[in-house]
């Protein structure tokens, strides 16, 4: 399963790298806007292909007609309640027809969000900036491995503190300082085994993987850039506490996930008429 997930991650990550490469000059917000436009069009197109468009169009027409009837017969309680019942029935039918397309869309949208998290949630360290590197040890190794865990950093990265062990969490942390820009490889040694973690130092935004995990399937999906750790090493995960990427629109800070959902939905509704799709 881990191999299949990593293979999917490589395809998705490589595809997004190619897609975002020509958009880097736009900056985080406007590149996210372009991604949201493409996603909105894609979602509406898929919705139109997997939904019963004729049935949805008929139901929407009936709901619109019944809404007019509610205003016309609002003084006739019996007719008013009858029309309200038909609106409720048609609304539930509409939801049933929309359920299958929504389930089909859920998979691609989740994969897109995972890739956006990789590019828009964190930023690289800057020169002179400090952060923590945390190694989590597998539960079955916590009584043996901790005293033998060592962190090795290449030239350009300084390890400023010795490892601090937190027994309740099974974690050991070091504070490091980034001295020069570049892409580095941290090496964690434990019980004769070695595991690596990418570290990025620079001023430009891009794909930043904060966590490299072992056999945790959810972590492998959420942090797709690096291959899974070997469980036999006794290391469950290696995490770099990158700062969050600041995204601003007209001087106002925005959350990338909220911006993506709002923009993609807005673009989707804007183009549904051109695509001839009933939503």
pLDDT in tens, 222-256: 888 888 888 777 788 999 999 999 998 888 888 99
Distance between CA atoms of residues 197 and 210, nearest Å:
9
Do 54 and 80 belong to one domain?
Answer: yes
Do 141 and 78 belong to one domain?
Answer: no
Three-class SS state of 47: helix
The answer to the question of residue 149 being in a domain is yes
What residues contact 219, with CB distance under 8 A and at least 6 apart? 211, 213, 237
Do 192 and 233 belong to one domain?
Answer: yes
The answer to the question of residue 196 being in a domain is yes
**Of all helices (H) and strands (E), which one includes residue 72?**
helix 53-72
Q: What is the predicted pLDDT for the residue at 84?
A: 78
- Residue 204, token pair as written in the block: 């430009």
Distance between CA atoms of residues 38 and 16, nearest Å:
12
The answer to the question of residue 245 being in a domain is no
126 pLDDT band, cuts 50/70/90, is: very high
Give the angle 126-128-130 at the CA atoms, nearest 5°. 85
pLDDT tens column, 60-69: 788 888 777 7
The answer to the question of residue 49 being in a domain is yes
The answer to the question of residue 259 being in a domain is yes
Residue 250, Ramachandran bin (φ over 0: left; ψ between -120 and 50: alpha; else beta): left
Distance between CA atoms of residues 3 and 24, nearest Å:
31
Residue 268, Ramachandran bin (φ over 0: left; ψ between -120 and 50: alpha; else beta): alpha
Do 205 and 142 belong to one domain?
Answer: yes
Average pLDDT of the residues in 83-87: 79
The answer to the question of residue 247 being in a domain is no
Do 264 and 161 belong to one domain?
Answer: no
141 pLDDT band, cuts 50/70/90, is: low
Do 156 and 259 belong to one domain?
Answer: no
Do 145 and 94 belong to one domain?
Answer: no
Do 20 and 104 belong to one domain?
Answer: yes
Q: Is 176 in contact with 211 (CB distance < 8 Å)?
A: no
Do 49 and 98 belong to one domain?
Answer: yes
* Domains in the chain, number: 2
**Of all helices (H) and strands (E), which one includes residue 112?**
helix 77-120
Do 71 and 11 belong to one domain?
Answer: yes
Do 171 and 103 belong to one domain?
Answer: no
The domain in which residue 58 lies consists of 2-121+252-275
Do 10 and 115 belong to one domain?
Answer: yes
What residues contact 105, with CB distance under 8 A and at least 6 apart? 43, 46, 47
């Amino acid at each position: 399963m881990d191999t299949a997930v990593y293979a999917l991650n490589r395809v998705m990550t490589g595809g997004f790298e190619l897609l975002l490469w020509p958009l880097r000059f736009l900056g985080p917000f406007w590149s996210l806007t372009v991604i949201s436009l493409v996603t909105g069009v894609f979602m509406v197109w898929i919705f139109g292909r997997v939904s019963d468009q004729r049935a949805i169009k008929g139901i929407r027409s009936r709901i619109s007609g019944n809404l007019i009837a509610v205003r016309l017969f609002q003084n006739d309680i019996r007719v008013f309640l009858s029309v309200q019942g038909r609106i409720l029935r048609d609304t539930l039918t509409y939801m049933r027809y929309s359920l299958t397309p929504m389930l089909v869309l859920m998979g691609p949208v989740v994969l897109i969000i995972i890739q956006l998290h990789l590019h828009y949630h964190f930023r690289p360290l800057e020169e002179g900036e400090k952060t923590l590197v945390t190694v989590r040890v597998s539960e079955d190794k916590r009584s043996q491995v901790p005293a033998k865990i060592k962190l090795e950093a290449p030239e350009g990265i300084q390890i400023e503190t010795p490892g601090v062990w937190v027994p309740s969490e099974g974690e050991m942390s070091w504070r490091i300082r980034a001295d020069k820009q570049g892409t580095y490889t941290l090496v964690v040694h434990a019980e004769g085994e070695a595991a690596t973690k990418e570290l990025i130092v620079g001023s430009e935004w891009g794909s930043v993987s904060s966590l490299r995990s072992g056999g945790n399937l959810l972590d492998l999906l959420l942090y797709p850039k690096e291959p899974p750790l070997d469980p036999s090493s006794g290391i469950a995960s290696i995490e770099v506490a990158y700062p969050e990427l600041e995204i601003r629109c007209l001087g106002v800070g925005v959350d990338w996930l909220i911006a993506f959902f709002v923009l993609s939905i807005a673009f989707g509704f804007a183009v549904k008429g051109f695509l001839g799709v009933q939503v």
